[in-house]
Amino acid sequence: MVSSQDSNHYRERALKLFPWVCGRCGRDFMGKQLRELTVHHKNHDHSYNPPDGSNWELLCIYCHDNEHQRFLEADAHGPVRQEEQKSSTFKAFAGLDALLKKP
């Protein structure tokens, strides 16, 4: 578990590095609202705090809660099996050259 002192330390650093905008919904934060902007660890490892902030993104409390809920639900359901995807054979611009050459 991350102590509140560590949490405040990387939050202060993140607020200096990034614009005060939620990385998901794009809402701006300033003044008293700034307390609603949180630091999300992209890899969900709160102990991994590189000085360049590459593991962080600023999210509002609502988007942050949503991100963690999605992570918990995905974890609860186990690995997702994806069927092999077939590539599309549709060619959107097939024959376009002939249409453009018509008088």
* Structure confidence by residue, pLDDT tens digits, 42-90: 998 999 999 999 999 999 999 999 998 987 887 777 665 555 556 667 7
Rounded to two decimals, what is the model's pTM?
0.65
Looking at the domain assignment, is residue 26 inside a domain? yes
Return the pLDDT at 7: 62
Q: Is residue 59 part of a domain?
A: yes
The answer on pLDDT for 13 being more than 80 is yes
pLDDT at 29: 94
Average pLDDT, whole number, for the chain?
Answer: 83
Number of independent structural domains in the chain: 1
Domain that holds residue 25: 4-77
Q: Helices marked H in 1-103 — which ranges?
A: 4-17, 61-77, 96-101
- Please state whether 79 falls in left (phi above 0), alpha (psi between -120 and 50) or beta: beta
